[in-house]
Amino acid sequence: MIEHRLGTHFNNSKISSDFVDAILRHPKSCDTVWFTTEYGFPLLKTHAEKARAAGRAAQIFRENGIGVSLQIANTIGHGEYMKAEDNAAIQEMGLKKLIGSDGIQADYAFCWNGEKLRRYTAETVKLYAAAIRPDVVWIDDDLRPTNHFPVSVGCFCPDCMRAFNRQYNTAFTREELVQAVNMGDVEWRERWISFIRKGIADFAALIVEAVHSVSPSTQMALQFGLADNIAGGDERHIFDVLRSGSHFPASRAGEGTYHDKNPLDLLGKQIFLSYGNARLPQYVRYRVPEIENLPDVVYGKSNYGTVLEGTLGLAYGHTGLSFATVMTPYEDFSFHEELLSQFSRIRKYWEHLIQVNLITFSGCAGIISGGYRRIKDKTCRFGYGKIYGMHGTSLTRLGIAESFETQHAPFLVLLHDVIDTLTDEEIRPLFSQPVLTDAIAIEKLIDRGFKNLLPVTVRPVSSLSYREKLSGGRSWTESFFSCENEQPYVIEGDCVPFGELYDGKCSVSFGISAAQISVGKARWGVLGYSLWDDIVSGAKRDQIIAVADSVCNGLYAYIATHAQVTCVPRVSAEGKVVSVTVINISISPTGNLELIIKNPAGNRAVFENAEEIKELTPRIHGERMIVTLPPFIRGWDAGTVFLS
């Protein structure tokens, strides 16, 4: 459940013994440690020496009931910054260097189809797996075709070009193939992606074979950061290879968020990770977030920030936690031991979250993401792979948490930029689902030829002064705060209005600013003004909540109180709300909060966090439950209401 990724200094048995003693002083603060292969490309004899030391140190953990796994620190190579490491094997082994789409060569990353790299990697892995006999082998996130600085996309080396041309009976030069992938018929993009995935999958298969040749019972796992759709938008080609008999591979989706100086980054990271998690094969049952604090120092991520990130990761549905928080020896160990102490104190709460995650699904608003088939990129920089909305929109910061896991989402969120990435075949199913979007998206859909499916049109408003009339006699304008906001629109046609836009000087009405529309059998919410702004009035936020609530017959959960908090619900397959994690996303303590829950799994509500477990007294109104949460006595805090 709680896994610690270790640096190579833990190959020292004394350092490992001291860490074990600290773990034992703080029960349940660590279940498993990951030892690691030596970073860089040293000679095999160097790896052999390091593997023996790691094996001796690993035994110390096992003797004290702590599991031991192994991380493969690098396969293809992380990029130029590896030049500071021991790379003696590069020249001795004659490793074939990675070539980018622009012809640039990487000096510290290598072609995954190169037989010498494959042999070197297999022999390296075999040395460590034999010495450690790991419970799990985690392949690090450089097993990818992108982001191997200075190569942005590879590999286009002469051997890869010959292999591609031979497979498809073509005669592309590197420049011609890049042009075809970015600007040609989508068939060539599909073929290139298939070629890339097959080569990387074959490389992964050799790693699996090497591990199981010396440690047959070891489970395989992948660390990855799915930041684009360039290679097809998932890692199934690798996971399918890592799956072996009854061994289901594990997953660690990642993104580098190394400090907590901007806490919103910790929340945005969970949305980023949800993209990769949403595309996992169903057989991947154990998934942990990357919680990485490099360089692991007092003035980086605080220990409380690390614990908070763990809670956020579990709120978003992970079934375990992995921490890279003791990888460097820069600080006195008392700093790291304080973190173990906090893990020990919060363990019971985290266990409860994991128990729920194993039987539930995300109940967050579902972010629609584009694919890789439609966009053509004249720059030939593989812009077709861009993922819009990767860190979510303002809705999360207004109280409606978002996720790319859409299977049980109450409604879908459609950013207008995403329209440009969707094919017509990807758009059509949206007209049968509840959607929240803006007027620019409607304008783009009309331009794409879907006017006959929409009961409204939209019209931009040009005025030096405008206001939006909201319920309760309130008004709103965002014109004072930013000159970069989208131009306001009004909605015209058959709709249920939720607001009106008018001239701020002469009070002339421009038209409807927010509405619910019927699209076939589904309902959409359309806002022509200020949907993606997270600095709004309480009344404007209530309008957005009301529109979202109307399109899906009720949000799973939201906070009625005007406070900077967000709700992350988990729901059963039948749509029953099993838990709601409430996160204070401001620096301010909150008072009592009114939480509205639709279709709770039961009438019993229990609030839990690291400090307390408290029975709540719910009020039932039809399908909805209202509970009053105890105050969050500090900013950036979290707690969960469990329903049964």
Range 387-407 burial, b when 16+ CB lie within 10 A, else e? bbbbbbbbbbbbbbbbbbbbe
Any bridge partners for residue 625, and if so which?
597, 620
Contacts of 208 (CB under 8 A, 6+ apart): 220, 241, 242, 244
Q: Please report the pLDDT score of residue 420 as a whole number.
A: 95
Q: How far apart are CA 152 and CA 324, in angstroms?
A: 26
Q: Please report the pLDDT score of residue 633 as a whole number.
A: 86
Q: How far apart are CA 256 and CA 467, in angstroms?
A: 41
* Residue with tokens 């109450």, as numbered in its chain: 410
492 residue type, one letter = E
Q: Please report the pLDDT score of residue 81 as a whole number.
A: 86
Global pTM reads: 0.96
Phi-psi region of 492 (alpha: psi -120 to 50; beta: other; left: phi over 0): beta
49 class by beta-carbon count within 10 Å (0-12 exposed, 13-18 middle, 19+ buried): middle
Tokens representing residue 274 in the block:
């949800």
Could you tell me the end-to-end alpha-carbon distance of the chain, in angstroms, rounded to an integer?
24
Q: Please report the pLDDT score of residue 578 as a whole number.
A: 98
The pairing of strands 557-559 and 250-253 is: unpaired
Other CB atoms closer than 10 Å to residue 315's CB: what's the count? 28
Contacts of 261 (CB under 8 A, 6+ apart): none
Q: Is residue 259 helix, strand or coil?
A: coil
- pLDDT tens per residue, range 171-189: 999 999 999 999 999 999 9
Task: From residue 374, give the alpha-carbon distance in Å to each of 152, 386, 418, 526.
Answer: 21, 11, 11, 25
Tokens representing residue 94 in the block:
């004659």
pLDDT along the chain (644 residues), means of 10: 97 97 98 98 98 98 98 96 94 97 98 98 98 98 97 98 98 98 98 98 98 97 96 97 89 96 96 97 97 96 98 98 97 97 98 98 96 95 92 90 97 96 96 97 98 97 87 81 69 98 89 96 94 91 97 96 97 98 96 96 96 96 94 94 98
DSSP-H helix ranges across 26-84? 44-63
Q: How far apart are CA 585 and CA 481, in angstroms?
A: 21
Contacts of 635 (CB under 8 A, 6+ apart): 584, 586, 587, 588, 589
The pairing of strands 2-6 and 321-326 is: parallel
Q: How far apart are CA 582 and CA 556, in angstroms?
A: 13
Other CB atoms closer than 10 Å to residue 197's CB: what's the count? 18
Give the closest residue to 79 by CA, choosing from 106, 113, 100: 106
